[in-house]
Structure 1
Amino acid sequence: MFTAGKGVRLLAVLAVATTVLAACSNDGDDGGGSAANSGPRELKLWHYEGPTSAMGVAWAEAIKEFQSSHPNVTVKFEEQSFEQIQKTAPMVLNSDDAPDLMEYNKGNATAGLLSKQGLLTDMTEEVTKRGWDRLLSENLQTTCKYDQRGIMGGDKWFGVPNYAEYIMVFYNKDMFAQQGLSVPTSFDQLVSAMDKFRQAGVTPLSVSGSEYAAHQILYQLALTKADRGWVDRYQRYTGKVDFHDSVWTYAANTFVEWVQKGYIDKQSTSITAEDMGTAFISGKFPMMISGSWWFGRLQKEITGFKWGSFLWPAQMSAASGGNIWVIPQGSKNKDLAYDFINITMQKQNQNLLGNNGGVPVAADPGAVTDAQSKELIENFNTLAGRDGLAFYPDWPAPGYYDVLVAATQKLINGSASPDQVLDEIAKPYEENLANLGG
């Protein structure tokens, strides 16, 4: 996510502090070492996953395991919203209020920027020591490592994900059956399905225009025409980016066409990601183009109809390793933070994540028994296997998330032409590149 990606926004802040009085023996798997046997200490942990999400379930169990192996440590857990961390991280990490460990969005504009500013711990030595690099495939490592400019794909580790994520199409099987539609396997079939719904007076897509979803659809449209070279130029500054090339022009024009044809509601400019998701969950829309971070929640909350998901019908899709565990440079309990990360990377926790609708990075395939979850993981493996991980559109430049939200809102409400919108998203990108010396 949330991206910025991202994910389900949580407005409440929950502080949970627990001390375990009785110790369990440490089997060494969690990397407890001397940290497990030291005097009274505290691990301050932040993340923004909902308690019923796959990551929320798995990490709650990781806290219990951590406490068992670290009997003298109090875990002070605070559940932040994605937006809170996204907007305040640079300020918070420069203060005494910084956590010891937190979940953070990956990419140049977020983790990359903080690494460049010296606010994150270089984890390279510990990653190698604990073998996390051997658990993560090369394409998942890209968003963990940054160079001195803060550009992903560098040589130093500043974060570690314990799950992966990708954009897909969630669909209401009952609504598809009512229209005699099968699962689209090509882009043309997807468009034909949306046409069929419009003929029946149904808006095909549940969309959030006030947050990430709309600009992710714009990017998905670009990816129907893009290749790896195009993605790397845009995401990693490996070459010149032309925002009026055939790829971006097609994406912007097609997005407007989708609005004009009624695939995307013109009123969606004010819809939040939460409202987008709950509208799909309630059965109001046949499709939602969004990320795997919704999967576990849909499993638990959809009760009135059958649903499924399918890969975006193109070679590539917005996808990557999940949001990453980062350790603020000012953390006084880095050893404890490493121990906690290590628990989330173990098979037991990975299997739990996989069986609750997440995409684990190091699970035992045979241990994931839920049929929908197996399909979710298999689809991600298919995407990764064809070099289809295209990252997320807001990653290249600081502040780019807000730029893209505003730009796609203009495409939805018609207040700017596609060419004007492409100029609008080009300007901050090119300014950031100039600041990097590009």
Structure 2
Amino acid sequence: MNAPYDDSAGSSSSRTRLITTPLTPELLRGALELERTEHGLLPHRLPARARAQSEDGQLAAAEAKPSGVRLVLRTRATTVELDTLPTKTDYRGAPPRPDGVYDLIVDGVLAAQANASGGNVMTVDISTGASEFRPGPAGTVRFTGLDDRMKHVELWLPHNEMTELVALRTDAPVEPVPPGGRKVWLHHGSSISHGSDAASPSTTWPALASALGGVDLVNLGLGGSAMLDAFTARAMRDTPADLISVKIGINLVNGDVMRLRAFTPAVHGFLDTIREGHPEVPLLVVSPILCPMHEDTPGPGAFDFAALGEGRLRFRATGDPAERAAGKLTLNVIRDELSRIVEQRSADDPRLHLLDGRELYGRADFETYPLPDELHPDAAAHRLIGERFAERAFGAGGPFAADD
């Protein structure tokens, strides 16, 4: 299974012969499917059946960015190398986005971080939506100087870059960590859950909350794509999980995709589908965190081109508050309706719970941790949200408490 790799042409800090270990599903957590490509393995967070039911480019890009996906293994290795082919996104007309970060977690502690060189580039013109793909070479992420002892190693892939896995090399054999021993938490949400503007993949708010809660995360946070899609509900229905949460709201408003008449049955249908596969699992519905521009103003949301002209990325709401009377959705409308729906359903579903998103990030927090682009929390706010979610969901008396 293992083959030597001559590193003499690589890093000057490492001249040992490394072992190449085949990349197999047993080494990966957090992906629902692995696609074999000409380069290696591409993790997907939605299965092929779901992907086939949508031609939306936003969803396709989001589900292939491996938020929450990580290599998990046991090894005595002091050197770990991963060849990857990232696809970076360059938004023409907007400030440059940071390169993806790879987080190395050793025995539960962040030990090192790195970036991958090379890679493909997808350039998107935000004013027209036109895109251009430029292929590039694979790069290598290298970690050295690890302790020479048997240890639990997790290598978290960038949450904001599509990442094809090409080769794994170490200076000692590796073995997969069998699943089990920890509960699996399956979460679905928007770009905020995906990790937009988080500092790194292990510091998105769901990753932080999962570490504090002592659970294994499967993150179906899909940037711009938490639309109550039936295929997403079916994917959740069919994914083994001990704990489930769904964060509903912001994309429905800023996408302006439905009215209140459609929203209510869509929420019921989404929850019904999840319950088909998980009738007894604790299920937590999370309403939107505070987002002032959409609290009482409907969507659609749009880029603020005046800010872009000044080199700043900002969003704005373009709807009319008066349109709420015609059924247009705002965050406050959604919170009220989610509260009513959960109260109605919980009479027959005692393991269904509601968490008001403003308990995670509310008005006072906006004053301390303002949303840099008026929509997404920054790295500090991700940590705040993760800690608060862990306290309210996994803490004593919470819906995900260990004795539940």
TM-score, structure 2 normalization: 0.26
Q: Which has the higher strand share?
A: 2
* Higher RCO, Cα 8 Å, sep 6+: 1
- The two structures have a TM-score, normalised by structure 1, of 0.25
The structure with more helix, counted as a fraction of residues: 1
